[in-house]
A and B are shown apart, each in its own frame.
Chain A
Amino acid sequence: MIESKTYYFNTFQIDAAALDRLVTEALSTGGNYADLYFENTTYGSLLLRDGAVTSGGNHIDFGVGIRVLSGEKTGYAYSESTAWEDMLASARAAAQIASGPTDVSPYGTRNPSRGEPNPHADRYPIGQPWRGTPMSTFLPFLQKLEAQVRSRDTRIVKVIANLAFQVSDILMYNSDRELKWDTRPMGSVSLTAVFKQGNLTENKSTSRSFRCGAEMLTDALATEMATEIVKGIDDRFAAKRPKGGQMPVVMGAGASGILLHEAMGHAFEADFNRKGTSIFADKMGQQICPKGIQIIDDGTLRGNRGSLNFDDEGIPGQKTYMVEDGVLTSYLHDRISAAHYGVRPTGNGRRESFRYAPIPRMRSTYMESGIAQASDLIAEVSKGIYVDEFSNGQVQIGEGDFTFYVKSGYLIENGKLTQPVKDINIIGNGPAALADIRGVANDLAIDPGAWTCGKEQSVPVSCGIPTVLIGKLTVGGE
């Protein structure tokens, strides 16, 4: 939702002249670029536990972050008040990074975002605003959700359902005199159920998260989540640890996109490459995976958790092809790394809040569909594993070693899914795994869950992938 410029000026009690004065002060010690990031975020939450919505709350986070660049060096400070003296003190603290004019002029990327925000290009559909709607309006959704879950399986002993929403007013201004504003909604529902069968206990979780309004809280969503939470629970109780070791892995469509996020996405974030630490630092223009593969980081999917009208440096949201026909074609850039590489920013400069300077971050990362059938990829494997539900992942940027934790999957024996498996970690090396993709199915799915990336700061992201066969990864087991 994009309000009028006046709305943001009033929210932050600022005007255009004051923005100019603040930027001028920030550059007073010789910095060659400065930007301001005003944020007013309201959070709300409701928690259903033990059959009742007995906990909830609201939170306000307000402030302005001031960044000064001197070449590629960053000075950063923030104020939780927009009173002039407080902002001035922060501008001066940030300005300490510079100690005189620099002969570096890295911002040859000016004018990437001239013009005012266009409300017609808004990527956040809002039917019912979170702000201004009484919290009591949302209670019935959680109650219906719990009732639907409990009606589906008598083994359920506990249900926890959480609704969290936030709305952020953002105003950005920089020393190139670019002014941008945005209001970003986010609604998330998470659901956990604990099942008991004899002496065995299992839990399952699922979530949905979108940049949209409260209209997301529909009966259809409750049904969808309730169905998903009980799906496969019999297999979960029957699941065993596989015999560990290296084997082919078929990654199911959707949440398996965590492979792209961990195995390559982070390594493509240009700050790691600018610093020389990434395993992909010298791979630009090279074939890094089989021909026919396209890998994308996309900030333009309407309502997607990772989408943005503008990134946190005021660069318009965009769709970035990182890999085209198997060739590495672009890193993910913020303004600093774009200047370093002499390219345009890709709209990946993101931050957790005004408390943080922006750095290159992913948005929605996915691989385009291929031409294979998912069932054919499984049929190709004589002995391996199929995985489709995950909880978390991690990567070592320098080495390129990545891992992700599998909540559930199946053994593949002679081309067929057989024994259910659970709670195993899978480890591989990014470049090796990308080069070892044996097949890509035609069933791309973007996972709708509440994925959060934790590189130095937490930002919302999403991921997706079609069913993919990788020739060899190391699977944890007994």
Chain B
Amino acid sequence: MEKAVLTQEEIALAKHCLNFALKEGADKVRITLTKSLLNLVGLLNGEVDKTSHALDRSLQLQLFVADKFGSFSSNRLEKEGLEAFIREAIDTVRMLEADAYRTLPAPERQAKDAVTGRELGLYDPAYETLTAEARRQMALSSIAWPKEGLIAEEGEYSDSVFDSLTLDSQGLEARHTETSFEIGYESTIEDAEGRHFSSYWWDATPRLKDLQLKDCAEKACQRAKDQLNPQTVPSGKYTLILDTECASKVVTPILSALGGYSLQQKNSFLTDSLGKQLFPQGLTILDAPRTPGDTGCRLFDSEGVATREMPIIENGVVKTYFLNTYISGKMEMEPTIEDATRVKVLPLGGCKTQQDVLDQVKDGILVTGFNGGNSNPATGNFSYGIEGFLIKDGKRVHPVREMLITGDFLTLWSHLVAAAQDARPCLSKLVPTLAFTNVDFSA
């Protein structure tokens, strides 16, 4: 039986590689050793259609040699082969051009509290008790197939363990271990005219007992049925109500624009935004990376720098850039953290639920999913395909399809009128239902 988490032998090999790289001429070294084990059961129309078993290991090296830098990795974890790989890697780094800003972070910024990897309570020992049959039964426990109108139902149950250890040549040893349990369904229904409508539902959690297996397929099927009989609405300006399931679509570009690489390369619509009131008063977006048991939390970033709770946007004011050691040096600014971990948009406008938001705005278009589109990182302009529902007097009137929203992010956010409190814990970013006025819809 393979071990799902890093073994002492594997850890010893990583430490050997670190010392070997120093011996071979590297000035500084960072090594990240990762291991993951995934088991998956896929369903098609009520029957098991596929199973998958995947064990991955990887050793990533970042080498600093005479002000030069290179990044390398291998999944062939044999000592002799890795030694040859490291020698070649050092030779490769030597032929690159020098970059004085490449260095390890100051040790005092690095995490000291990630010793066992389980400090955040993200590892569930229940994982160790799971059998192939138990996984099969969990996958089958929530099917909706067969059902009237349902022409295809695909489901997937999976669980995984992820274990990582980051070491560097100034003594860092930081470990992170987590389990994940997921269920997801996609249902396709057909109307009387042969048109197809699909939708999905899913749940994920670090603890098996919290996984919402029940009704997952039913919800996917219901969401597909909700799309029957779509109608077009005229192009124009509407209030956009953004369902929590897809609301991160308008937050992620902000985080990207505050990222060091975008800023340093002048490819950001938030250049020179630090400390400025560019978002509406009342909007606060936090990073809360250290909440025990909370999906996606971590004690350190890829440099080993300790995460901390901090505002990203506070009452509309930009409070931080995401600057790792390298970019902060190039920008001559204090380093922060390389990226956000657990983003939370705080409530605004007194609404708790999506219905509260609908009741408040009365009319508009509730967007429940995106179909393609993109944004321009330099200008903040965006255009996305959407699907959702026309809203009148706070109620769904009919589904809408083949529509687009178009605008720019700063203008969009300046029209924010509500942020609810309904983000599901399984979402990678805790962005609740949002409402924006005066948004351009094309149809």
Residues of A participating in the B interface, judged by any CB pair closer than 8 Å: 46, 49-50, 52-63, 72-81, 89-90, 93-94, 96-97, 134-136, 139, 157-158, 160, 192, 194, 196, 200-203, 241, 244-246, 262, 275-279, 282, 355, 357, 391-405, 422-429, 474-478
Contacts and interface: CB of A to CB of B under 8 A. Distances in A.
Given A75-B51, A476-B383, A478-B440, A54 B371 contact: no
A400 B384 CA distance: 17
Give the most central of A160, A192, A246, A427: most B CB within 10 Å: A427
A109 to B, nearest CB: 20
B378 interface: yes
Given A77-B53, A478-B440, A58 B372 contact: no
Contacts of B379: 200-202, 423
A398 B151 CA distance: 10
A340 B189 CA distance: 22
B50 A54 contact: no
B266 interface: yes
Nearest to A203: B378
A56 B92 contact: yes
A405 B387 CA distance: 16
Contacts of A52: 97-99
A449 B271 CA distance: 29
Interface of B: 2, 42, 44-45, 47-57, 68-77, 85, 88-89, 92-93, 95-99, 102, 132, 151-152, 154, 188, 194-198, 235, 265-267, 271, 330, 371-379, 381-385, 387, 401-407, 440-443
Contact of B50 (A50, A74, A394): A74
Given A56-B92, A476-B406, A423 B76 contact: no
A474 B403 contact: yes
A476 B382 CA distance: 10
B102 to A, nearest CB: 7
Contacts of B132: 96
A401 B371 contact: yes
A118 B395 CA distance: 65
Contacts, number: 243
Nearest to B227: A399
B275 to A, nearest CB: 19
B375 to A, nearest CB: 8
Question: What are the 10 closest A-B residue pairs judged by CB atoms, nearest first?
Answer: A244-B442, A403-B372, A394-B372, A398-B198, A476-B404, A54-B99, A425-B383, A398-B196, A476-B383, A93-B53
Nearest to B82: A60
Given A157-B266, A244-B442, A60 B73 contact: yes
A425 B97 contact: no
24 contacts: A54-B68, A56-B96, A58-B85, A60-B85, A74-B49, A80-B57, A134-B95, A135-B95, A203-B377, A241-B406, A244-B440, A277-B152, A277-B154, A399-B196, A399-B197, A401-B385, A403-B371, A404-B372, A423-B375, A423-B381, A423-B382, A425-B384, A476-B442, A478-B406
A394 B402 CA distance: 13
| A contact patch SS | strand
Nearest to A475: B442
Contacts of B330: 50
B50 A194 contact: no
B57 A135 contact: no
B110 to A, nearest CB: 22
| B contact patch SS | strand
A393 B372 contact: yes
Contact of B188 (A77, A276, A394): A276
B54 A427 contact: no
Contacts of A423: 374-376, 379, 381-383
Give the most central of B45, B56, B195, B372: most A CB within 10 Å: B372
B382 A245 contact: no
Given A52-B97, A392-B374, A78 B406 contact: no
A201 B102 contact: no
Contact of A73 (B49, B266, B373, B402): B49
B402 A194 contact: no
Nearest to B89: A58
B381 A76 contact: no
A61 B75 contact: yes
Given A57-B73, A194-B266, A276-B188, 20 more contacts: A55-B69, A55-B99, A56-B92, A73-B47, A73-B49, A76-B51, A158-B265, A158-B267, A194-B378, A276-B152, A277-B198, A393-B372, A394-B372, A394-B385, A398-B196, A401-B385, A424-B383, A425-B406, A427-B371, A427-B385
A160 B377 CA distance: 15
A75 B48 CA distance: 10
A307 B126 CA distance: 46
B443 A245 contact: yes
Given A90-B53, A393-B372, A399 B442 contact: no
A89 B2 contact: yes
A57 B372 contact: no
Nearest to A76: B52
A136 B88 CA distance: 13
A213 B235 CA distance: 50
A49 to B, nearest CB: 7
A58 B72 contact: yes
Given A60-B85, A93-B53, A403 B188 contact: no
Contacts of B194: 282
A401 B401 contact: yes
B204 to A, nearest CB: 17
B297 to A, nearest CB: 27
B440 A477 contact: yes
Contacts of B68: 54
Contacts of A63: 75
A277 B188 contact: yes
A476 B266 contact: no
A399 B151 CA distance: 13
Contacts of B375: 423
Nearest to B198: A398
B408 to A, nearest CB: 9
A398 B44 contact: no
A72 B49 contact: yes
Given A55-B69, A476-B442, A96 B51 contact: yes
B356 to A, nearest CB: 30
